[in-house]
Chains A and B, each alone.
Chain A
C-alpha cells in the first residue's frame, strides 16, 4: 500500500504534472488527485479512446500492442499508460509554470 502511494506521489510531483488518475479495467477510477467531477469526466472519455487506440494497434498487427498514448492539445497534454487491469492517466501541462 505504501509502495503504491509513493509511486503515485513520485509521478504526481514530477515537473509539470497537473493530475494523476488510475482507472480499472471497467473504467472506474481507483485513485485520483483531481476533483471528483473532473475525474469522472476524464475517466469516462479517455477509457473509450484508449480501448479504441488499443484495438486499432492490434487490428493493424495482431502481434503488436499499445504501450503508450499521448493526446496533445493547445492547453495540456494527456498521457495514458495502459495495462491489462488498469490504465494510468496523467493530465499534464507541457509548459512551465512560473512560481
Chain B
C-alpha cells in the first residue's frame, strides 16, 4: 500500500499519514538532486485509529439476585394402626321343645312304661305320708323376740309438736323416710314441716340427726318412695299439693310439684302412690287421693311441673248399689277418699277407702264420665265398680294382699279390721283390735297370713291368721303414754324390719322375730282356703 499511496491519489488522512511516513525514508535523504547511498532504516510501528469503525463497547452493570430465604418447619406424621374387630351377640335362642317325631318313640315309650308304675306309686305314698308333717328346717339363726333397733326423731320437728304422719322405705330397703305434720288440725295451718330420712344401713347412724332433711312449707300427710329410684320420694301436703323430692340433692331437693292450679286437690292429700306408666315400665306416675273425692294421676314434665294425665272423681250417686248405704245421695256430693291400695296382680285395679267407711273396688280403665262440676283440665271419670259393706266409721287404711288376688284389709276409726274378698260385699272376717281408732294396716310382704295394724292406743299389733284369728300374736308397745301410732311400713328388702311412726314424732324401727320373716310351708294354701270361704 505504501507504493500505491505514493502515486498521488487522495487518500483518507489516515493512510495519507502512512504514505508520508512510508516515503519518509526516501524523502529524508539529504537533499534533492543529489543521489545518496541507499540505506535501510527501520522505523517504529505507527498505528492509526479508525474513524469509521466504532468500537463496540461493553456496558457493564452489576446486578445480583437472591431468593427469599425458605422457611422450614419440622412436622412429623404417623399413620395409626387400625385393627377392625367385630363382636356380635346372638339373641338367645329360646330352647324349643323337640317335637316328638324327632325322637326315638319306641324307646321313649319303653322308658315311660317302665317308670310309670314307680312314679304313680311314689305319688300315692307321698300323698298319704305324714313323714314330714311339722318338720321345718331353719337355715338361719332364730330370733325369738321383737326388739326395737332404732328410735329415730328430728328434734326441731318434735319441738313443734309435730306427729309422724307418713313413713316409707326406699327401693333398696336401707333408707326410711318420715313425714311430719299434724293429723288433728281442723283448719288451715301455716306450719312448716319436714321430711326426714335416715339410712339404717350406715354405720354411724345418729338417731337425732337424719341423713337428709327437707323443709316443706305445709304439713306433709303422706309419703311414698319411688319403686326403683332410691332417692326420689313423693309427698302429699295439707294444702292439696303433691311434691316430689330428690333426697340426694341437699341444696335443692324439690324435683316436681303440682302447684296450686285448678287441677290440684282442694283438700289435704290422704295418700300418694307410685304407678308404672302403661307401656313404659321404667317410668312412673304419681297417683294422689284426697278427701275432696278426686283420684288424680300426675306425670312429671319438663321444668319441675307435675301435669295431670288422668283423673277420677267419686260422686255419691255414681257408686254401685251393691250394698245398702246409710246416706241417701242428695245432689252431687263427693265422697272423700282416705286411702288407696293397688292390687299386686292386676295393675289397673285398686281399692279406695272412703270417709263413709265403705271400701270401693275401682279400676283405672273405667270409662264412664263423673257427674261432677269440679274444674279439671282432663275429663274426670267415675272409677267405682263395687261397693263393699261399710265400717262403723271412716276408713284410714287399706292394703291388698301380695299373695292372693282377691283379698284386702281395711281398718278404720271403729277400731275394726275387716278382711274382704273382692268377690263379695260383706267382709270375710271382722276383728276388733282396738277401742280407739286404727290408723294403719299393712300385709306382711313375706308371710301370706300376717298383717300389722297401728292403733290409737300406742301399739303395733301383729296378727298371724295361722296361729290365732282372734287375738294378736305380738303386741308391740310403741309409745309409753298411749299416744297413737299413725303409720307403719314393712321393709320388703330386709324383711325383718318394721318401721312405725307415732304422735310424739319418733320413728321406731322394730326387728321382728324369725317367725315373721319366712314363709311357712303351708301358708299359701291356707290363704287360699281362707279366701275360698266366700259365703254363697
A residues within 8 Å of B by Cβ?
1, 3-4, 7-8, 10-11, 14-17, 22, 24, 28-32, 36, 39-40, 67-68, 70, 72, 74-75, 77, 79, 81, 83, 85-86, 88, 90, 92, 94-98
Return the CB mask of B90-109 against A: 1 if under 8 Å, else 0.
Answer: 00001111101001110111
A7 CA / B291 CA spacing, docked (Å): 61
A92 CA / B100 CA spacing, docked (Å): 24
A4 touches B123 (CB 8 A): no
- Name the residue of chain B whose CB is nearest to the CB of A82: B115
B532 touches A98 (CB 8 A): yes
B97 touches A74 (CB 8 A): no
Q: Which residues of A contact B524 (CB under 8 A)?
A: 75
Restricting to B114-132, which residues have a CB under 8 Å from any CB of A? 114-116, 118-120, 122-123, 126-127, 132
Q: Which residues of A contact B107 (CB under 8 A)?
A: 85
Min CB distance, A57 to chain B, in Å?
A: 16
Min CB distance, B341 to chain A, in Å?
A: 25
A75 touches B100 (CB 8 A): no
Min CB distance, B364 to chain A, in Å?
A: 28
Min CB distance, B268 to chain A, in Å?
A: 43
A8 touches B94 (CB 8 A): no
Q: Which residues of B contact A88 (CB under 8 A)?
A: 111-112, 115, 119
Given A28-B95, A28-B98, A36-B95, check contact A94 B126 (CB 8 Å).
yes
Interface residue? B320 (CB, 8 A): no
Q: Which residues of B contact A83 (CB under 8 A)?
A: 111, 114-115
| A32, A74, A81: the one within 8 Å of B119 (CB) | A81
Selected A-B contacts with CB under 8 Å, 20 pairs: A1-B105, A3-B109, A10-B120, A11-B119, A11-B120, A16-B123, A16-B126, A28-B95, A29-B97, A29-B98, A30-B108, A36-B97, A39-B95, A74-B520, A75-B521, A79-B122, A79-B126, A86-B111, A94-B126, A94-B132
A-B contact count (CB 8 A): 103
Q: Which residues of B contact A77 (CB under 8 A)?
A: 126
B108 touches A81 (CB 8 A): no
A22 CA / B115 CA spacing, docked (Å): 11
Q: Which residues of A contact B126 (CB under 8 A)?
A: 16, 70, 77, 79, 92, 94
A14 CA / B121 CA spacing, docked (Å): 11
Q: Beyond A30-B100, A32-B97, A96-B525, list 8 extra A-B contacts (CB 8 Å).
A: A3-B112, A7-B109, A7-B112, A22-B108, A22-B112, A74-B519, A74-B521, A81-B119
A29 touches B112 (CB 8 A): no
Given A83-B114, A86-B111, check contact A29 B95 (CB 8 Å).
yes
Interface residue? B328 (CB, 8 A): no
- Name the residue of chain A whose CB is nearest to the CB of B95: A40
Q: Which residues of B contact A97 (CB under 8 A)?
A: 525, 528
B123 touches A79 (CB 8 A): yes
Min CB distance, B394 to chain A, in Å?
A: 35
Min CB distance, B246 to chain A, in Å?
A: 36
A4 touches B112 (CB 8 A): yes
Q: Which residues of B contact A95 (CB under 8 A)?
A: 522, 525
Q: How large is the interface on B (under 10, 10 to 19, 20 to 34, 35 or more residues)?
A: 35 or more
A55 CA / B534 CA spacing, docked (Å): 51
A88 CA / B104 CA spacing, docked (Å): 16
Interface residue? B203 (CB, 8 A): no
Q: Which residues of A contact B94 (CB under 8 A)?
A: 36, 40
A94 CA / B118 CA spacing, docked (Å): 17
Q: Which residues of A contact B103 (CB under 8 A)?
A: 24, 30
Q: Which residues of B contact A90 (CB under 8 A)?
A: 119, 123
Interface residue? B327 (CB, 8 A): no
B519 touches A79 (CB 8 A): no
Q: Which residues of A contact B373 (CB under 8 A)?
A: none
Q: Which residues of A contact B132 (CB under 8 A)?
A: 72, 94
Interface residue? B529 (CB, 8 A): yes
Q: Which residues of B contact A15 (CB under 8 A)?
A: 123, 127
| B96, B109, B520, B532: the one within 8 Å of A4 (CB) | B109
A39 CA / B116 CA spacing, docked (Å): 20
Interface residue? B326 (CB, 8 A): no
Q: Which of B103, B115, B525, B528 has the most A CB atoms < 10 Å from its CB?
A: B115
- Name the residue of chain A whose CB is nearest to the CB of B107: A85
A23 CA / B187 CA spacing, docked (Å): 70
Min CB distance, B361 to chain A, in Å?
A: 23
A50 CA / B156 CA spacing, docked (Å): 63
